[in-house]
Structure 1
Amino acid sequence: MGESTLRPDGTLKVTGEFAYSSDMWHEDMLWGQILRSPVAHARILSIDTGEALATPGVYAVLTYDDLPTAVKNYGLEIQDTPVLAHGRVRHHGEPVAIVAADHPETARRAAAKIKVEYRELPVVTDEASATAPGAPLLHEDRDDHHIGHVSHPNIVHRQPIVRGDVEAARRRADHIVEGEYTFGMQDQAFLGPESGLAVPAEDGGVDLYVATQWLHSDLRQIAPVLGLPEDKVRMTLSGVGGAFGGREDLSMQIHACLLALRTGKPVKIVYNRFESFFGHVHRHPAKLHYEHGATKDGKLTHMKCRIVLDGGAYASASPAVVGNAASLAVGPYVLEDVDIEAIALYSNNPPCGAMRGFGAVQACFAYEAQMDKLADAVGMDRVEFRQLNAMSQGTLMPTGQRVDSPAPVAELLRRVKAMPMPPEQQWLAAGEQADVRQLPGGLSNTTHGEGVVRGVGYAVGIKNVGFSEGFDDYSTARVRMEVVGGEPVATVHTAMAEVGQGGVTVHAQIARTELGVAQVTIQPADTQVGSAGSTSASRQTYVTGGAVKNACELVREQVLEIGRRRFGTYHPAWATAELLLEGGKVVTDGGEVLADLVDVLEDEAVEVEEEWRHRPTEAFDLRTGQGNGHVQYSFAAHRAVVEVDTELGLVKVVELACAQDVGKALNPLSVIGQIQGGTTQGLGIAVMEEIIVDPKTAKVRNPSFTDYLIPTILDTPTIPVDVLELADDHAPYGLRGIGEAPTLSSTPAVLAAIRNATGLDLNRTPVRPEHLTNQS
């Protein structure tokens, strides 16, 4: 542990040789295609599949009426999403029919021949239209467990958090600031579009090879729709080209299985990029209203806020996102008097669910803008104001939960502020010729420095780690130790989805550390081993790593016990082996020791399957929001340096420095990569990324990378990282989840820097040129 082990798939990925799920092939394979709704809200009056079925090369066309069981809906928490639309479509791009054909172009042409008659209905696109008298109900027959505590059926979930006496605290405030903030809808924009291969089996079941984040959750939703027991739906993880939350929900899984079982042939489905924008959930857009107060000395007095998240047509992970947004709405600050409300809406906009940061990102954007406003009102340095109010270990959260592990918020701010600043552009002062490649606008030659100003901004955020609110969050690992070719080898088998986060290196590192062997094999993830939960919430190294560690410890003890029985307690070489194993040293260092270990294992292998759970959590009270809802918190701070062409509204982010507490850096190289990756995604939502939905029709206007922009290497600044390691005593190796926290604070840091450069009161993401040049 602690070494920068290289990824085993790294070279294959950068050379283009890695096999993603879209690269899979099977003899006699058919291709699947989905027909999607061209409108956001409509009654389906009729569907005519005759012409599609008559197309040469077509093997099957299925609609809702062809589904094999009474279970026709699925969903992560609320089963409100139809496998295929029935009677009504609720969002642009909703699946209506599926086709299997012997060639992908044939499948696409056949899908286009399906005739669907729609009668369009009024659309719900925001809170006003969702809750107005007579508003169309997106789900008339709701019976989920959230319906009893919401004021309108078009509200998915509501979570208040009330603590202290806000009105009394308000009267003590010398300064009060308010803000209305808008957060745009972000796409996960992962590298590999949705894809998978379903193969019918001789036992009547199906084998599904798919890119996903959560094999066992997929299985739980797929099997009932197919009418099969779970042991007849065998799932294996294929190569995943990124996820970031977008693969936590189902996409093509059920459709491929249905077509494979109907035709008796393997069926492959691969979305193109246009389809991918409709085929997965996005980050919730949000409207946030905040009020903060502070004394003249700079101490926070109170906070009131209301967060409205647009969940789109189906629930997905919206209830959990609401819980996160509400419970982390204060940020990493000490506040005893708060009044928080967070809700998620049903609307005809695209479904939204999990994305890196999971509700905490939207809140961080707003509360960090508020911190700058308050610091200015009090007349304090913005970093010092944050440090004065920063939480620490022992702080009581607004939910009443005490933070019982390090919370070095003030120290992270100190560290990021102390990092060397990028050099000033000397030509600004000296009148020298500018290098246009270093200016806002890049190589477009739009300026030689005229009107370009520099700004600096800071932000810090708090993110929970792991699943919360009483969810039974656990993982499973199977570890085997045996002799292969005269050498002890450990095999690790979990259902963890490797989506780029680095579990393939960390699990091997854990096994080498705990078992002392040099050779470790990581088996492909599948459902033939117990659940590992989702690769999300920065939880996999914590939870599945914990399961691997526990299983290795049990394997090690069994190996030592076998050795004691065979050699006796005082056998010199075996005593040395015991010391090496217990100390996590590689046992192949010594010839005698290796020989004895081989003797122990050559006649029998040792295998253990072990579950591991983190400390229990509890649901937040639905009236007060009180409860020990989270198991661990992570923290990151950013300093952004930007240059802005104030005449054209162009922004260049020069640097995004980060300081983050990681508890224990198990693989320092991967840690840096996660922090830089999360930082870059935060940069994207700050200045370029937004799915544009027409407010009148609820249609997506930019479902392509031509019109939905993501940062390229030319947009990505220098990202120096200062890693702090303060162990969490409750976590394996003291580690702390890493991947999400930097996505929180990078966005408000960039906005703060742009405000610093321009003097403008910017209150939305992303910032566009017109926001910087036309404030009318």
Structure 2
Amino acid sequence: MASATGPTGTSTRPNQGAGTRAGVGDSPLRPDGTLKVTGEFAYSSDMWHEDMLWGCTLRSPHAHAGIVSIDVSEALKQAGVHAVLTYDDLPAEMKNYGLEIQDTPVLAHGRVRHHGEPVALVAADHPETARRAAAKIRVEYEELPVVHDEASALGEGAPLLHPGRDDDHAPHVPHPNIVHRQPIVRGDVEAAAGRAEVIVTGEYEVGMQDQAFLGPESGLAVPAEDGGVDLYIATQWLHSDLRQIAPVLGLPEEKVRMTLSGVGGAFGGREDLSMQIHACLLALRTGKPVKIVYNRFESFFGHVHRHPATLWYEHGATRDGKLTHIRCRIVLDGGAYASASPAVVGNASSHAAGPYVVDDVEIEALALYTNNPPCGAMRGFGAVQACFAYEAQMDKLAAELDMDPVDFRQRNAMSRGSLMPTGQPVDSPAPVAELLRRVKAMPLPMEAQWESADGGADVRALPGGLSNTTHGEGVVRGVGYAVGIKNVCFSEGFDDYSTARVRLQVAGGEPVALVHTAMAEVGQGGITVQAQIARTELGVTQVTIHPADTQVGSAGSTSASRQTYMTGGAVKHVCELVREKVLQRGRELFGTHHPAWATAGLLLEGGKVVTDGGEVLASLADVLGEEAVEAEDEWRHRTTVPFDLETGQGFGHVQYSFAAHRAVVEVDTELGLVKVVELACAQDVGKAMNPQAVVGQIHGGTTQGLGLAVMEEIVVDPAAKVRNPSFTDYLIPTIADTPTIPVDVLELADEHAPYGLRGAGEAPTLSSTPAVMAAVRAATGRALPRVPVRPEHIVQV
């Protein structure tokens, strides 16, 4: 049997001091928390089967090349090898997959389009045997011209990376190497520009960021007696994986059974498939369980990354500080395959003006096909790139107008009722000015914290830290501000829903709720929130969360800050159905004995049925008896529509979230080293379902934005080859790099959302990056239009 101890299938009880039932608004302990901090938690890479094989992937060393021939004979001769598969061995007519556009081959056929593309698979009885066999596969390549930027993608004679592409996006783009294009036009920009008394322009660049999740891609496929396969996998979206996997295997979806295993973070990088199909193919071919675990080097090639971007902006304003217009063009590098690029384009364009009131806009966003690594979903999803540019522009305008940068932002801040560039009204609280006021009002950290008691320098607190590069010479402090806006949930007419199944029954004399969804717990704490909702709605103490799998309806992706909203909303809705069934049973059993049973104000509290006045009518155990009460249903948010492909107008987003940051940095202006001292944040979360978890999400998003500002970038050379696929060369913030992050949480309820909540995980990723960069600019006086900033950018003459 395949086995793993994961975050689900556990009984959750409230921790002491968390309230009477640890319901909504409390902060109960996470059931997976202790296991994770002690190292006992089992991730998907820890799974084991008694007779399993190990899978390995052969990847292309070239970014763009024709495949002349593949010879697997030597690999098959390797002792311990059970199977070697290439494109020609794929069992079904469907040989491609993809989130929106099925343009990604399971294994390369005819040519490879990016460095690290899968070419062949090996299954062997030991992981090292599989790797050695893969190295014996002989592939003859004929290198082709590389498309690596906009000029080479759209210039005259540019190679077409997907010739004959025929999909819903193709008629709306001017070149086949453009995945998707979204313009947004509102008002009269030419006339508005004529009224502008100050105009600033800027060109900006955002590097390719990796999700850098802790657990590399891994999973275990087990062939079944019915000819199907059971897949135990770390993913963000079980049912999306299923929809893509089954056709390639030539199996109906009911014969591909998927169960979520322990996930070590995701941040968008697990929305796309990695080794799922490969493990299933090898398991079905060999008739044995097959496990695949990527090492860290391979992981950099095995998942999508954040889209690198080039952005051009023009902002105009009157002398009294009111925005007149915005023009911008955002070019995202989507890499070799489409992934989520169409949706990222929609997000980048619709958020391109930021949380500001501006009536006249001309926006264009597009994503390119190139031979660079494929890019797709990552925390912030297109809004991150836009926020970096528009916040730099707001600082430029404030400087030209000789205005305080916070005052200038507040003067133009949107509020409830303001229109987005798409014409959509923001119909819930939009406290942009208040967030800026709060973050500015937080006490600043003390100056010169690096001075030791004896008057010397504590190098640990200086830029460069223990490298002992400076003792304070040339160190300048800077302060910067930024604010961002991010949508919540899926958008543009996507049928966004989540399914929940809830059972209430008596076990050991105590009522117990069983909650079953397909929500992927990737570290965000969703299973804790589900239990809190069940306790709140059903009045029970003990809640068991069933392992997430495809034996229940889809919960959608754990992305877009949507799971607490959507799956939380589904659990709330189904608990209400269960509660009504319980009360109806009670009316049938006891209603004749007490007139209060006929009222609509009955509650379930503490395992009892009580009136709204607190009178106990019966215990839940008496009402339920030996018979369980169960309900299952889908729950949807309000309808959205696709943006118009010519004007970009439309009610495209469900909800918006807002966060503001103030960064305090110290910069060694002689060496170009940056030390982030503090990143204060103010954020509106609508309702803090689990206050401790909300602050944790804000800390995590803030730190990821810090990484993009000062260190994180996948370096891709002009030949489209990745040069730093390891944590030795791809740097992420450690505890030594992470500053103090004070958080001020607002709770302004959105009446359209369950409990009034607002997605919390992504918004702080937006504003932390430009806030850090604003502070570095303040310390250095340099324009610094690119992230991540490097020492040579700061000290250049």
Whether the TM-score (by the shorter chain) exceeds 0.5 is yes
Q: Which runs of 4+ in 1 moved over 6 A?
A: 426-431, 572-578, 588-592
Give secondary structure in 2 for the equivalent of 1:209: strand
Is 1:772 equivalent to 2:791 in the alignment? no
**What's the CA shift for 1:426?**
6.4
Distance 2:448 2:677 in 1: 11
1:756 is matched by which residue type in structure 2? A
**What's the CA shift for 1:568?**
1.5
Give secondary structure in 1 for the equivalent of 2:579: helix
Q: 1:186 to 1:613 in 2, by over 3 A?
A: same
Residue 80 of structure 2: aligned partner: 57
Q: How does 1:135-534 map to 2 (within 5 A)?
A: 135-425=158-448, 432-534=455-557
**What's the CA shift for 1:450?**
0.6
**What's the CA shift for 1:635?**
0.2
Residue 734 of structure 1: aligned partner: 756
**What's the CA shift for 1:589?**
10
Distance 1:78 1:310 in 2: 16
**What's the CA shift for 1:409?**
0.2
Distance 1:374 1:261 in 2: 61
1:60 is matched by which residue type in structure 2? A
Residue 717 of structure 2: aligned partner: 694
Distance 1:647 1:292 in 2: 33
Is 1:761 equivalent to 2:788 in the alignment? no
Q: TM-score, normalised by structure 2?
A: 0.95
After superposition, the C-alpha distances for 1:489-511 in whole angstroms (9 at most, x for unaligned) are 00000000000111110000000
**What's the CA shift for 1:592?**
11
After superposition, the C-alpha distances for 1:362-413 in whole angstroms (9 at most, x for unaligned) are 0000000000000010111000000000000000111010110000000000
**What's the CA shift for 1:572?**
8.3
**What's the CA shift for 1:129?**
0.2
**What's the CA shift for 1:599?**
2.2
Residue 587 of structure 1: aligned partner: 608
After superposition, the C-alpha distances for 1:632-686 in whole angstroms (9 at most, x for unaligned) are 0000000000000111111000000000000000000000000000000000000
Greater shift after overlay, 428-437 or 56-65?
428-437
Q: How does 1:110-129 map to 2 (within 5 A)?
A: 110-129=133-152
**What's the CA shift for 1:600?**
2.0
Distance 2:574 2:91 in 1: 41
**What's the CA shift for 1:725?**
0.3
Distance 2:190 2:535 in 1: 57
Distance 1:102 1:650 in 2: 49
Is 1:715 equivalent to 2:737 in the alignment? yes
Distance 1:428 1:182 in 2: 36
Q: 1:681 to 1:286 in 2, by over 3 A?
A: same
**What's the CA shift for 1:215?**
0.2
Paired residues in the alignment total: 772
After superposition, the C-alpha distances for 1:190-210 in whole angstroms (9 at most, x for unaligned) are 000000000000000000000
**What's the CA shift for 1:226?**
0.4
Give secondary structure in 2 for the equivalent of 1:130: helix
Distance 1:716 1:36 in 2: 35
Q: How does 1:643-658 map to 2 (within 5 A)?
A: 643-658=666-681
**What's the CA shift for 1:132?**
1.0
Distance 2:453 2:289 in 1: 68
Distance 1:91 1:316 in 2: 14
**What's the CA shift for 1:594?**
9.5
Give secondary structure in 2 for the equivalent of 1:541: helix
- Equivalent pair of 1:55/1:110 in contact (CA under 8 Å): yes
Distance 2:677 2:394 in 1: 23
Distance 1:401 1:252 in 2: 40
Q: How does 1:67-86 map to 2 (within 5 A)?
A: 67-86=90-109
Give secondary structure in 2 for the equivalent of 1:138: coil
Give secondary structure in 2 for the equivalent of 1:561: helix
Distance 1:429 1:556 in 2: 62
Distance 1:143 1:494 in 2: 35
- Equivalent pair of 2:478/2:776 in contact (CA under 8 Å): yes
Give secondary structure in 1 for the equivalent of 2:325: strand
Residue 703 of structure 1: aligned partner: 725
The equivalent position to 2:769 in structure 1, one of 747, 768, 774, is: 747
1:689 is matched by which residue type in structure 2? E
Distance 1:713 1:213 in 2: 26
1:558 is matched by which residue type in structure 2? K
2:781 is matched by which residue type in structure 1? G
Root mean square deviation of aligned Cα = 1.7
Give secondary structure in 1 for the equivalent of 2:729: coil
Give secondary structure in 2 for the equivalent of 1:107: helix
Q: 1:572 to 1:486 in 2, by over 3 A?
A: farther
Q: 1:24 to 1:431 in 2, by over 3 A?
A: closer
The equivalent position to 2:568 in structure 1, one of 537, 545, 548, is: 545
Give structure 2 stretches of 5+ with no counterpart: 1-23
Residue identity (%): 83
The equivalent position to 1:47 in structure 2, one of 70, 87, 101, is: 70
Residue 598 of structure 1: aligned partner: 621
- Equivalent pair of 1:580/1:586 in contact (CA under 8 Å): no
**What's the CA shift for 1:6?**
1.4
The equivalent position to 1:621 in structure 2, one of 637, 644, 667, is: 644
Is 1:8 equivalent to 2:8 in the alignment? no
Distance 2:506 2:768 in 1: 48
- Equivalent pair of 2:603/2:610 in contact (CA under 8 Å): no
**What's the CA shift for 1:432?**
2.4
Q: TM-score, normalised by structure 1?
A: 0.98
**What's the CA shift for 1:189?**
0.1
**What's the CA shift for 1:601?**
1.3
- Equivalent pair of 1:662/1:736 in contact (CA under 8 Å): yes
Q: 1:481 to 1:41 in 2, by over 3 A?
A: same
